[in-house]
């Protein structure tokens, strides 16, 4: 990598994601994660970026253990995460492996306990994600009795996405810039400008 602008752009990408995870506002905290369903077809859904660890080249997301993506990512952990920021036409594609920390693991428990009480409620739904409901307001929540285990903890899964490559594209008016970064943990193995 001879061009210092590549290094600066990579630093900016990680910083923007770190800030997006901390604020959870704006466009970047919402990402699309891809997996492969049981028929071999792509399966896409939006997830919220919860944490960024640049030193480990990891992005973290939360999900319900009963969601389809859990089984899909356990079966085929190779995945892709897409971020889009329309304000400046920034598209970030992250390639890598999804590691899932299921209920009962130390990492999942620690991540769940860091969620404010209001955010934990979504993991206490009685029906699993994707279950038909008679009406949109027919969602039941399992509340923990005093002294009993939190039912949301038994359904919470932490997804840690280990990034190996980044394809960054900026479509800003007439300016179009694209670069490809190959990572090995916190070490940049290679970076190059590529045609948009």
Please provide the DSSP assignment of 8-64 as one string: HHHHHHHHHHHHHHHH--SSTTEEEEEEE-TTS-EEEEEEE--EEETTTTEEEEEEE
Q: What value does the mean pLDDT of the chain take?
A: 92
Reply yes or no on whether the pLDDT at 21 is more than 70: yes
Say if residues 65 and 155 touch (Cβ distance below 8 Å).
Answer: yes
Task: Report residue 81's pLDDT band, with 50, 70 and 90 as the boundaries.
Answer: very high
Of 150 and 32, the structure prediction assigns the larger pLDDT to 32
Domain ranges of the chain: 4-128+148-193
> Architecture of 4-128+148-193 per CATH?
Roll (2.30)
pTM: 0.91
Reply yes or no on whether the pLDDT at 1 is more than 60: no
Task: Report residue 2's pLDDT band, with 50, 70 and 90 as the boundaries.
Answer: low
Task: Report residue 137's pLDDT band, with 50, 70 and 90 as the boundaries.
Answer: confident
Reply yes or no on whether the pLDDT at 110 is more than 90: yes
């Amino acid at each position: 990598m001879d061009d210092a602008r590549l290094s600066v752009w990579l630093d900016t990408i990680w910083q923007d994601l770190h800030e997006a995870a901390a604020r959870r506002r704006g466009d970047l905290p919402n990402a699309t994660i891809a997996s492969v369903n049981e028929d071999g077809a792509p399966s896409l859904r939006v997830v919220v970026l919860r944490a960024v660890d640049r030193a480990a080249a990891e992005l973290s997301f939360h999900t319900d253990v009963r969601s389809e993506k859990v089984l899909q990512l356990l079966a085929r952990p190779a995945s892709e995460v897409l971020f889009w920021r329309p304000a400046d036409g920034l598209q970030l594609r992250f390639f890598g492996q999804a590691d899932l920390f299921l209920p009962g693991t130390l990492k999942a428990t620690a991540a769940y306990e860091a969620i404010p009480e209001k955010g934990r409620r979504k993991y206490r739904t009685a029906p699993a994600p994707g279950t038909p409901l008679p009406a949109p307001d027919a969602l039941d929540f399992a509340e923990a009795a005093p002294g009993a285990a939190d039912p949301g903890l038994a359904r919470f899964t932490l997804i840690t996405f280990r990034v190996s490559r980044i394809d960054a594209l900026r479509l800003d008016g007439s300016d179009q810039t694209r670069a490809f970064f190959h990572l090995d943990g916190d070490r940049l193995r290679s970076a190059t400008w590529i045609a948009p």
